[in-house]
Structures are given as structure tokens and as C-alpha cells.
Chains A and B, each alone.
Chain A
Amino acid sequence: MKTTISSLKKGEKARIEAFDVESIPLKLLEMGCLPGNVVELLQIAPFGDPLYLNINGCHLAIRLETAREIEVTLINNEA
């Protein structure tokens, strides 16, 4: 199964790998949601949705359905 932002746990960081441009709003791209950038899951709203993220230094929230579209790989270099 592919890892997406929706499968991250609170506090985990990951690198954005790929997504279908069609299913992502342009605004999200413009806020820095682009392949190669790092995303961190900061908070999960009560009832599990939406997700509060730090993407490339930008703090924003998106819904689960959008988060499921964005493939990532976990970064596990806890120092």
C-alpha cells in the first residue's frame, strides 16, 4: 500500500513524492505542496479530520480526502 499524508501519525515527517495534479487544488500547490518538499503532521482535528500540516514551512489544514491523494515517504532520522 502506498503511504499518503493521511496515513501519517501526529508528529511524523515525510517527503512528498507524487500526486495527480487533477485531484489537488492549485492553491495547495502554491502554498508549497510540491514533490520533494517536507510535510509534518502537526495536529489532527477532533473526529479525525481535517489535518493540520506544516508543508515547507507553511502552516495549513486540509481534509482527509485531499491528504489521501498525496503520496509521501516517511523520514525517520530522529536525532
Chain B
Amino acid sequence: MKSKKNINVALIGNPNTGKTSVFNQLTGLNQQVGNYPGITVEKKIGFCKLPNNIKANILDLPGTYSLNASSIDENVVIELLLNKNDKLFPDVALVITDVENLKRNLLLFTQIKDLEIPTILVINMADRMKYKGITLNIPLLEDKLKTKIALISSRKGLGIEALKDLIVNYKTVSTEPCLNSSSIDPVYFDNLRKTFPNQLLYKLWLVITQDVNFLNLDRKEIHGSFTKSHSDLKRLQQKETIKRYQFINDVLKEGQQIDTANAKDFRSKLDRVLTHKFWGYVIFFLILSVIFQSIFDWSKIPMDAIDQGFANFSALANEKLPPGVLTNLIAQGIIPGIGGILIFIPQIAFLFMFISILEESGYMSRVVFLMDKIMRRFGLSGKSVVPLISGTACAIPAIMATRNIENWKERLITILVTPFTTCSARLPVYAIIIALVIPDEYVLGIINLQGLTLMLLYLIGFGSAIFSAYLLNKVLKIKGKTYFVIEMPNYKLPLFKNVFINVIEKTKSFVFGAGKIILAISIILWFLASNGPGTNFNNAESQIIARNQLKPLSSVALETAVASQKLENSYIGLMGKSIEPVISPLGYDWKIGIAVISSFAAREVFVGTLATIYSVGDSDNENTIKNKMQAEINPITGDKVFNFASGVSLLLFYAFAMQCASTLAITKKETNSWKWPLAQLIFMSSLAYVVALVTYQVLK
């Protein structure tokens, strides 16, 4: 039978085995990143052309050490593998292993194999075999493990074609299991077999031991007669693990030789420096400094170019399109709104690049190791460092990254404080305000003052996260076992292709995600700013002419006066004016007030809002947003609106305020309660208000 259906391929493997690079090698940029329904685990699917015009859907499953799930990411793997009716159920599973950690990686392989799915063993990083003194007897391993083996190097792109051939011929791969489940506990398993003669024993065993959905079976039914105490189950799981390792050891004894005399080890030398009690911290701090300096300094040129480009584009649209309402919307609403977000691509791309490099290289685990004891003092775990650092990109993936923290209290505190770290959505706000109120000067020849301010803001973010964690640790009364296990992977030179694809994917989702909201909001804002109730708005021109009868204004001055009266009396102007009493003690005028309100659901909207507000009624579209903000004068005091005091007050307001609906949603999901997101919202927002108030009153 010839079917046109694409082959479903699932990539399964331990973390740090190069699974993602195999995925990238097979699919290139042909990837789609989404979420599994109902949960926030990232789902990556790609497409791959195989020989003979056959196509494959490649599913990159979350990294897992075994089929005994300990987090929802790992749960995804089991739920898929146990559910034959899932449309992504794999026709063939590729278990990706690292040649240097073959023994441990094979544990997962034997588990997958016992599900009787055709399974191909992919041994990755083969280019390091010689260097590590490893030799493998592939035919013998294929025979003992009852599989086909692809020896590849995803890093060097070796063996990929041979792997594709194996995928095409997946039907020839044996589905015979590795371990006879009965051997774990013969009496117990024989009973199971008698009760459920049509089910795979290992599947039943997984269902009994884990908390997963199993569509074809009523779990309660199994549990009724086969319930065991938690400790009995764990004893059996230990026995199972020992059995599996016995099998693996027997196989590897014959199939693998390691000549340690040939092995060179620079891991231990690097470890000695990077986890050193003094140099370890110095290096960590230096790395962070370089990252934050470069985000500000290196991205300046492309950002200025984008800014000017959009200003020109907007002017061009105004000039070329026929005058009218639609042109105004495009030139004053949509183009500045989009420009307001696109301008931050350079900074966001740099940030994702650095985080991706830190994770790829294996350095992140050393930071976890280095920081664990210190972080525990604040009720956090060493593993909280990863969310706190990746929180500088976005709090949402950062909160998801807390899933590997074993202890619930440490995890909850990490989730609650992560939104304090300076995320990329704050960057646009910081960038534009710093550029306005902090002088672009160098101290000591190399340190840029603006870069330094940005770094300070990042430190304030981390500092308030740590401090709140300390408070929460005192307040929260949660007891739990404090498990902590972290793999220390080998150091690797980050692969350009992996970093590149990661940066593209993340930047794309930021731009489209934020872009949609910003576009919608800027259109609404434009409408509210160009329309208004009452005579002050509609008869602005005649009123001003009447007021200046004695000394008629020049046409330019008249136009400006009309525009500003219209804006003040537009719907948005009236809204802004009504909240002015609340925000003027912080040093903000009604225009900033509108930007603060509209960015309540997403911080990055702030800049787009100001861009739209300042563009409406400004005939000079060639001016950049920055220059327009610079020129803004407070009519009462005669000072600049964006002066040092109000600027710093705004910076601190944005540093603390919880202005991100998506973060609240993810906190709700991960903690399974409305209590925690509400606590975040109230605590962070009131802190922001108080700090901004005090700052402005002291500095003004």
C-alpha cells in the first residue's frame, strides 16, 4: 500500500544531547513553534524532505531523562507516547544520545523501546569519539539493542543523510522490547498481565506509577486492585532502573571501548576556574556587564537607523497619499506604532543571542552550581538563576523555566519574583527615557553613562527580585523536601546555526506578539486622539482665531495651537486629564499618563503610545519620536516634560510595576491559583507608585 501520509518522527532525548541541533539539521528554518493545547509547553514541529519524495513531520519533544516524569514538560513526552490516537503519535522515534554519556542516555532508549514503537538510536557528537578515546562496535550494538543506529555529528553535519535513509525505512526496525517488565516483580506483573491481557505491561506500569492521562484505559480500574504504597512503588522503580542499567552495562561491555589514556579533558580545568570561589563570581559578573553594555552600545546604530527610517517613511506616506482620514491613520497612527516596536529588534536580538550562548555552552549549569548556596539564603534555588537571567528576555518563558526546580516553595518564590527582572519589554521604555534624560558621555574613557544607567536598572531589577524573595521566604510557610539534582554538561562551543535560529524564532514571536497588540492599540489611540466631544475640540480653529484677533498668528503658529488644543480636548486628552491628579505627584503630565494606562497590559506599548500621541497634530513627520519628546515643554512650569526627576521617576515606575497581562496569566497557570498573580499585581504596582512618588519629590 502506498500512502501519501507524511511520516511522523518524534525526537526524544536527554537534555544536552544536541537534540535541538539534530532538529535544526533535519528541518532547517522549516519550523513552527506553538504550544500544546491547554498547557504552556513549547511544541516544535518541523518538516523534512526525505529520499524518494517522502516527507516527514519532525516533532522535537521536550528533553527528558526518563519516562518517569517529574515535570509537565516531561509529561508531554509520556502522554504522547501512550496515546496511539494522537495525530502526532510517532511512526518512528529517534532517541538522541551523546556518545560521551551513552550509558546514561541508553536508559531512556530502553524505556522507549519497551513501548514497542519503532525506535532508531541516534548517537550524536561522533566527532568527539577519537578525542575521548571511544570506539563503538555498531553492528554488535544494533544486534543487542535490537535497533538501527545512526552515528552522526549534528555539529559537523555528518551522518544526517544516512539518518534520513533510516527514517524512510523505519518499518524494518524491530519493535522488540529491551527489558522484560515481569522481571521487576514476577508475581505482581503476572497478575497485571492476567487482568489486562491486551495491554502492554510496560505501559500499564507507567500508568500505575505516573500521573498521566491514558485514554484507552480507566486508570481507577487499574489502581483499584494494583495500588501500592508510594515507597513500594519507588522501590520497584529503583529495581527497574537497576535492571535496565544491568542490561545496558552488559551491552556496552562488549560494544563500547573507552581508552582513557587517549582522552583529553579540559572540562576539569575550565570547571576549576569557572566555579572558583573568587574568579567564578568575577567572571560571572564580567559576562553580565559585557551583555548589558553591548545591548545598549552595539545596538545604537541600527536603532537610530530604524528610527529615522520610520520617520521618513511616515513623512513620505503623508506626502504621497491623498490627504484624508485614512492617510492620517496610516501616517500618524500605524506607521509610528509599528516603528515603535521594530526599533527594539536589535536590542532584543542581542539579548536572546547572549542567553542562547550561555545555555548552549554549558556555562549556565556552572552558574547554578556557583549560586545555589547563596540563593538558598533568599529562599531560592541555584536553579532560580536561570529564570532570573532569562527573565531579562521575557518573564513568560522564564516562569516556565522554573519547572525543573524540585522544591515547591523555592519554585513558587522564583515564579513570584521573576517579573521584577528587567524584561525586554521594559527595554524600549528604558531606552527612550535614558536617551532623553541621561547625558551621552563617557566616564573613565570607556564606560558609557547611558549604558551604566541601564546596567543599574538591571541591578535594581535583580535586587528587588532577591529582596522580595527574602521577604516571601520569611512569610510563606510551606514545607517540602528539597531535592536538587542538576546535570553538569560538557562545555561546547555554541553552534552558530542553533543560536541564529533561536534568535530568529524568539525575535519573531516577540515582534508579532507585541506587534499585534501595539498595532491595535495605536489605531484605537489614534482614533481617540483625533476625535473629541464638545466645542473645544470641534471649533478649535475658530476659537483660537477669535482669541487672537488683536495679534493674528502666523499660519504655522496657528496650526500648532489648533493641534494642541484639539489633542487636549480629544477623548484621549480628556481621559488623560482626568487621571492627572493621581500621576502629577510622580512628575508625569497627562500624555505620559495615557501611555502608562495603555501600557498596563503590556509595557512596550508605552513608546508606541507616545509615538502616536506626539504624531497626531504634528505636521512635521520627519522629526523622530525622540526629538519630539525632547522638545515637549510643560506649559505650567515651563520645564521640559522629560527632565531628570520625571525621567528617573518613570524609569523606576517601570522597573517595579506589574504591567504585563501575559505574565499574570502564566503565573495563574503555573501556580494553579488566582491568589498569586493578584498578589504580584498589587504588591508590584503599589511598590512602583510609592517609589516613583518618593523619587520625583526628592529629585525635583
Residues of A at the B interface (CB closer than 8 Å) are 21-22, 25-32, 34, 42-43, 45-50, 52, 56-63, 65-66
Contact = CB atoms under 8 A, between A and B. Distances in A.
Contact of A46 (B104, B370, B486): B370
Interface string B84-122: 000000000000000001011001000000000000000
B406 A46 contact: no
Nearest to B236: A21
11 contacts: A26-B70, A26-B237, A26-B241, A27-B66, A30-B241, A34-B245, A47-B373, A48-B373, A52-B275, A58-B104, A63-B482
Given A21-B238, A52-B488, 14 more contacts: A22-B234, A27-B66, A31-B485, A34-B241, A43-B272, A47-B374, A50-B369, A52-B275, A58-B487, A59-B487, A60-B488, A61-B486, A63-B482, A66-B484
Is the contact region of chain B dominated by helix, strand, or loop, or is it mixed? helix
A47 B483 CA distance: 19
A52 B280 CA distance: 15
Nearest to A35: B242
B372 A49 contact: yes
A56 B248 CA distance: 13
B104 A31 contact: yes
Contacts of A47: 277, 373-374
B332 to A, nearest CB: 56
B235 A46 contact: no
B271 interface: yes
A28 B485 contact: yes
Interface of B: 65-66, 68, 70, 101, 103-104, 107, 231, 234-235, 237-238, 241-242, 245, 267-268, 271-272, 275-277, 280-281, 365, 368-370, 372-374, 382, 406, 482-490
Contacts of A66: 483-485
B271 A27 contact: no
Given A42-B268, A42-B271, A60-B487, A21 B231 contact: yes
Contacts of B242: 34
The 10 closest A-B pairs by CB, nearest first: A46-B277, A47-B373, A25-B483, A59-B488, A63-B484, A30-B66, A58-B104, A49-B373, A61-B369, A61-B486
Contacts of A50: 369, 372-373, 382, 484
A63 B373 CA distance: 9
Given A26-B68, A62-B484, A21 B234 contact: yes
Nearest to A54: B488
B70 A27 contact: yes
B592 to A, nearest CB: 45
A27 B404 CA distance: 11
Contact of B369 (A25, A34, A52): A52
Q: Which of A49, A56, A63 has the most CB of B within 10 A?
A: A63
A28 to B, nearest CB: 5
Is the contact region of chain A dominated by helix, strand, or loop, or is it mixed? mixed
Given A34-B242, A58-B487, A46 B373 contact: yes
A9 to B, nearest CB: 16
A35 to B, nearest CB: 8
Nearest to A45: B369
B137 to A, nearest CB: 18
Contacts of B275: 43, 45-46, 52
A29 B489 contact: no
Contacts of A57: 101, 103-104
Contacts of A62: 484-485
A13 to B, nearest CB: 14
Contact of B482 (A21, A26, A30, A65): A65
A57 B369 CA distance: 19
A45 B485 contact: no
Contact of B104 (A25, A32, A65): A32
A16 B245 CA distance: 15
Q: Which of A45, A49, A52, A62 has the most CB of B within 10 A?
A: A45
A55 B219 CA distance: 36
Contacts of A61: 365, 368-369, 372, 484-486, 488
